[in-house]
Chains A and B, each alone.
Chain A
Amino acid sequence: MSDTLLALATIFSQLSLLAFGGGNTILPEMQRQVVDIHHWMSPQEFSAMFALAQAAPGPNMMVVTLVGWHVAGWPGVLVTSLAKFGPSSILTGVILHLWQRFKDKPWRATIQVGMVPMTVGLVGASAALITEASTRTWGLAVIAAVCALIAYKSKVHPLWILAAGALLGLSGIGQV
């Protein structure tokens, strides 16, 4: 049990400091760790947890909490939350003090612009992996494609899109 908690702490504190460009960039590495390396769940279960976290309010990294809970119950929730939010928060606090000093330095903008393509590539990788795991039948692939199109073309609230996807899924069409 404590080995599991230690592994969770190691994985998520590392991910905490690597999550440049927001939480969605680290989904592939999170999936690699919890599915491929530690075999705590199947890729489908991971995608389902990601979906549940998307349906909940708040910041979009709540999948972390859910993974902790699934793997090790309440102690898991505590350990993963601390590991995920602790290191990046401490870094934020430290950098905040230095921030004003370097406010007008051009290299700051360079770094910011230079990291944009990385974020785009990583979010793309997240989309590919999560889609691969959650569209095993043609019916589900259609749901994903339609939802992607609607979310891309219109300003419909994401929660409605999730609800529509869940309802279409409930019909069971194309899922055999």
Chain B
Amino acid sequence: MTIESIATLENSASKVPSPLPSTRELFVGFLTLGMIGFGGVLPLARRMIVEQRRWLTPAQFTDMLGLCQCLPGGNIINLSVAIGLHFRGVAGALASLLGLIAAPSAVVIALGVIYQRFQDNPSVQHLFAGLAAAASGLLIAMALKMLMPILKKPLPLLIACLFFVSIGLLRLPLLPTMLILAPLSIIAIWKLPS
């Protein structure tokens, strides 16, 4: 082994915080995350990936999450794909993604079966009606929390209202609405700083 190749090896090793996770470890890691992540997986994901298993440094994690947030799809879903791909290529990406959605898929289908079987029972109807109302309350709270930071900025607020009216009230299809409004929104915020 030449000195150069040893130097390269050490160099690449120093960039990696811990031994590379195997495909199996990626699957198990994200499977665990999918099982315990009630209500929001992201804080748990950071703890597992950065603090416990040390797959990524804090800076790497933030950078990857930044990427995943600008792409379509759930950011934790995209993050699992990005991390899997980063360490083990396509096989790693598949292992991470399948691990993440395996347990939640099973649970959600089980809940669906229960709901369908007991749909005609008045008590069960009331129970699920209450659950649905509570879930809509959570969504309202989330929308309000997201609205607060832009409430006093006229331009972003106007753009948010445009999207709300066209999708929520006029029920326009999403694809053409987005193709027109999203570039306008980016240009407006870029050219007219508020």
Contacts and interface: CB of A to CB of B under 8 A. Distances in A.
A152 B76 CA distance: 23
B40 A166 contact: no
B138 interface: yes
Contact of A117 (B74, B90, B115, B160): B160
Contacts, number: 355
Nearest to A114: B186
Contacts of B160: 117-118, 120-121, 124
B75 to A, nearest CB: 6
B69 interface: yes
A115 interface: yes
Interface string B63-98: 100111111111111100110011000100100010
B13 interface: no
B133 A147 contact: yes
A85 B77 contact: yes
A119 B131 contact: no
A56 B134 contact: no
B127 A170 contact: yes
User: Binding site of B, secondary structure by majority: helix, strand, loop or mixed?
Assistant: helix
Contacts of B69: 112
Contacts of A58: 34-35, 37, 41, 100-101, 103-104, 107
A18 B174 contact: yes
Contact of A92 (B81, B171, B182): B81
B109 interface: yes
A159 B72 CA distance: 26
A96 interface: yes
Given A125-B167, A159-B38, A143 B140 contact: no
Contact of A144 (B127, B137, B186): B137
B129 interface: yes
B38 A65 contact: no
Contact of B70 (A44, A108, A147): A108
Contacts of B16: none
B77 A57 contact: no
Nearest to A120: B160
A171 B123 CA distance: 8
A70 B109 CA distance: 9
Nearest to B111: A52
Contact of B39 (A47, A126, A157): A157
B103 A57 contact: yes
A140 B129 contact: yes
Interface of A: 14-20, 22-24, 26, 28-29, 32, 36, 44, 47-63, 65-66, 69-70, 77, 81, 85, 88-89, 91-93, 95-96, 99, 103, 108, 110-131, 133-135, 140-141, 143-152, 157-159, 161-162, 164-172, 175
21 contacts: A23-B74, A52-B115, A55-B131, A56-B104, A57-B38, A57-B107, A59-B41, A59-B101, A65-B104, A81-B101, A92-B68, A117-B155, A118-B178, A123-B143, A124-B143, A124-B168, A127-B143, A131-B139, A146-B137, A151-B141, A166-B127
7 shortest A-B CB distances, which residue pairs?
A169-B130, A165-B134, A121-B163, A58-B104, A147-B137, A125-B168, A88-B73
